[in-house]
Structure 1
Amino acid sequence: MSVKNLSHIITLCCENNRAAQEQLYREYFGLFYTVAKEFTNDNQTLLSLVNEAFLKIFQHLKDYDASRASFETWGKTILRNVCIDHYRKTKTQIQTTDINELETNTLHYSQPLPAREGDMDYYFNLLPQVTGKVCRLFLMQGFSHKEIGGALGISETTSRWHLMEGKKRLQDILKKKYA
């Protein structure tokens, strides 16, 4: 979406134009969904977080200043804050699973499925949890170490260490697989 077109859509959204709001939602839903996926695996929670972020975006769209940040950066910041707030609210709750929800007939593969578009997720999941998240956020989504540190509650230096460690481990994993 061009900057001129985006600014026109934002102007219409500020006037509560529902068609413009839907267009903005459809344009950025995929990106925001991917970002929120780093915070939860539950699809319903994921959709709820993205929708809550869009609600806040539409409520505060008049405060958006294009000279300070791109819309994408501004929106991802709001989304990350919504996800972090959700995490803080739920981190003390005990996670339970209804026994009826468990799958009993699952297939287990000893090797990964043939390479597909989402294949990198398989390799990131082989890394320790935080290291995998840092690598995914930095390498796949283009976040800075400062943004990653803020989102995960770690320092920039720790984020850099996790990235370095993740790259080393990924190299070892891929060397073993393709050697």
Structure 2
Amino acid sequence: MPVLPSAVSVKNLDNILALCLQNDRIAQEKLYRAFFGLFYTVARDYTTDNESLLAIINEAFLKIFLHLKDYDTSKGSFETWSKRILRNQCIDHYRKQKNAIAAIEINDSVSNHIQHNDSQPGNSRDTAYYFSLLPETTGKVCRLFFLEGYAHKEIAAELHITESTSRWHVSEGKKRLQEILKRKYA
């Protein structure tokens, strides 16, 4: 049984979704509030800019409300369906921004400014932070591969790159993360 955010029971969720299909604004707000925290956490892995983050979440909710009639309970939970829409929205946002973003290389001057904390590696906040230190495309590929479980073929299709480029970014990301973590925990 899926764990629903913000104390929304399965029965309540079904009622809220039924009302959302009728364009009930109060039900839409309840759904938005119930899933905002989850969406924020998921989208945070794709962007560090709060303005973009909120825009992505709002656009994802708009798509959810517009396509709610297409949701089929026999194919999976609402949470899974909605998170897929959110991830696709994050990837679309990335594609739009791809040409404007210059890859930032991590060098010694950047690594000297890294804020060190005493938390243990593996913390989800640490994971997002370390992925944010990678060049933009490498970070996105690594997030999709390691955190979301995408295959190289899926990553290639989503980001419009080749499978070999996806493999290279994962390999490069591993090397850079190892260097960063060695410096931090050595």
TM-score by length of 2: 0.65
Report SS of the residue matched to 1:162.
Answer: helix
Of 6, 12, 21, which residue of structure 2 is paired with 1:14? 21
Look up the match of 2:129: 122
The equivalences for 1:49-68 within 5 A come to 49-68=56-75
* Alignment RMSD: 3.5
Which whole-Å CA distance do the structure 1 matches of 2:180 and 2:99 have between them?
A: 35
How many correspondences in the alignment?
Answer: 166
Identity percentage over the alignment? 61
Which whole-Å CA distance do the structure 2 matches of 1:24 and 1:121 have between them?
A: 26
The equivalences for 1:24-173 within 5 A come to 24-87=31-94, 110-115=113-118, 118-140=125-147, 142-145=148-151, 147-155=154-162, 158-173=165-180
Deviations 1:16-49 (A, max 9, x none): 3333322221222223234434554432232122
Q: CA deviation at 1:58?
A: 0.9
Report SS of the residue matched to 1:114.
Answer: coil
Q: Any stretches of 5+ residues in structure 2 without a counterpart?
A: 103-110
TM-score by length of 1: 0.67
Q: CA deviation at 1:126?
A: 3.2
Which whole-Å CA distance do the structure 2 matches of 1:174 and 1:46 have between them?
A: 27
Deviations 1:114-169 (A, max 9, x none): 145622233223333322222233434x3423554443223556445533443344
Q: Any stretches of 5+ residues in structure 1 without a counterpart?
A: 96-107
